[in-house]
Amino acid sequence: MIKITFIGAGSTIFARNVLGDCMCTPALCKSEIALYDVSEERLNDSEIILRTLNKNINQDRAVIKTYLGTVNRKKALANADFVVNAIQVGGYDPCTITDFEIPRKYGLNQTIADTLGIGGIMRGLRTIPVLRDIAKDIEEVCPKALFLNYTNPMSILTGYMQRYTKVRTVGLCHSVQKCTEELFTNLDIKGQLDGHTELIAGINHMAWLLDIRDKDGQDMYPQIRKMAAAKNAGMKHDDMVRFEYINNLGYYCTESSEHNAEYNNFFIKSKYPELIEQFNIPLDEYPRRCKKQIAEWEEERDRILKNGKITHKRSLEYASYIMESIVTNTPYKIGGNVLNTNLITNLPAEACVEVPCLVDGNGVIPCHVGKLPVQLAAMNQTNINVQLLTIEAAVSKNREHIYHAAMLDPHTSSELSIPDIKKMCDELIEAHNEYMADFQ
């Protein structure tokens, strides 16, 4: 029997989607599913939802077991074939709130703060120690398991696992699957999706749509560039930052404009506050989103528990397709986050890059991309600097490298002085307290 362990199963909506996908997959529907979390309440919610889903769509063919707390983590992982990671260390309250409130005191505004910037740095630093312990358990009780990481900051956490543990790891993000569809939808040319081909590569949340061709093999970028420029000049919309990338860098990228607004030094600038309005940038978007999601989940949970009505159709999330491909030795293509083993030749070997990968019974096999356009590699490098220094800080337990990561972050360094950057880092480390035990 295939065993799938879900770490962070209290992420109920995501666990439902990924594990619901597995229940919809013939090769996986009879798996043993181990749900693990450190929150008893959230774990109980997920267990109820998934048992109901298993009954409604899978004739109770999956075997579902729950494991609470770190003392039971090895039991949850024992003999697992696949480990899905969706933890959020520190949660929305207090840690995410802290990651926004303290930087705001220093005049540093953020939109999402889970991937880069000071918020991404802090999230990475409080998560790596937990991953370190999880990796030790995997190496001991399920050394052949494939670790499917969905937790942000993707490049920092996946890169740590790939460089400093023996765990077979791939990072997964749905922004690759959605990239071209979002572009075509925002340009109102969604009907041209049929039969198109594409090449996407770079780093997570800033992988580039390098080539896009219609069903006849014709390059679509000349049309896309004209339309993107016209739309940004003519109206306000939700994807203005990425369209500005097209206008000035020549290419579209994978993750949303609200994310990318804080990955550079171009848009969120206290000296030019009018840019926020001009490019329709939603400051403090993630806290608002968290509050909304928490409220919506509580309503949905109560509704499901009341009438038991829950169903699921297989989504586009990569996890179940990867598992199915490996189990059945059926080739499948993904966009995966992997160590840069000469895959993108003008990015560092230590970087975690997002490239096309083939999956089959041998596992995840990344594909060689070659050289990115120089301006795109340069944009990626500004983010990679922060990622590598954050990993270095976590591994060395050297507070100076936290300062270095923040000093080299494009957005942070464009807004704050070095003394204020260091002071802000110190205040965040103190506020996160137990989660930053390595730096106290």
Binding-site residue positions for substrate: 152
Can you read off the two tokens belonging to residue 216? 């006849």
Q: Which residues pair with 199 in a beta bridge?
A: 211
Q: What's the full length of the chain, in residues?
A: 440
Q: Which residues pair with 407 in a beta bridge?
A: none
| Cα distances (Å, whole numbers) of residue 339 to 203, 345, 372, 388 | 10, 12, 16, 12
Return the biggest CA–CA distance within the chain: 61
The CA distance from 350 to 391, in Å, is 10
Mapping DSSP onto H, E and C, the string for 28-46 reads CCCCEEEEEECCHHHHHHH
Phi and psi dihedrals of 254, rounded to 5?
Answer: -75, -50
Listed in sequence order, the DSSP H helices in 365-433 are 374-396, 399-408, 410-415, 418-432
Question: Helices 285-307 and 97-105 sit at what angle, rounded to 10 degrees?
Answer: 160
Can you read off the two tokens belonging to residue 311? 């169903």
432 is catalytic: no
Q: Which of 246, 211, 214 is nearest to 231 (CA)?
A: 246
In the set 174, 237, 404, 432, the catalytic residue is 174
User: What are the binding residues?
Assistant: 152, 173, 205
Cβ neighbours of residue 101 closer than 8 Å, sequence gap 6 or more: none
How many CA atoms, within 13 angstroms, populate the side-chain half-sphere of residue 327?
Answer: 20
User: What are the binding residues for Mn(2+)?
Assistant: 173, 205
Question: Helices 374-396 and 117-141 sit at what angle, rounded to 10 degrees?
Answer: 60
Identity of the residue numbered 96: T
| Cα distances (Å, whole numbers) of residue 286 to 30, 95, 259 | 37, 12, 10
The 8-class DSSP code of residue 96 comes to I
Show which residues are catalytic. 174
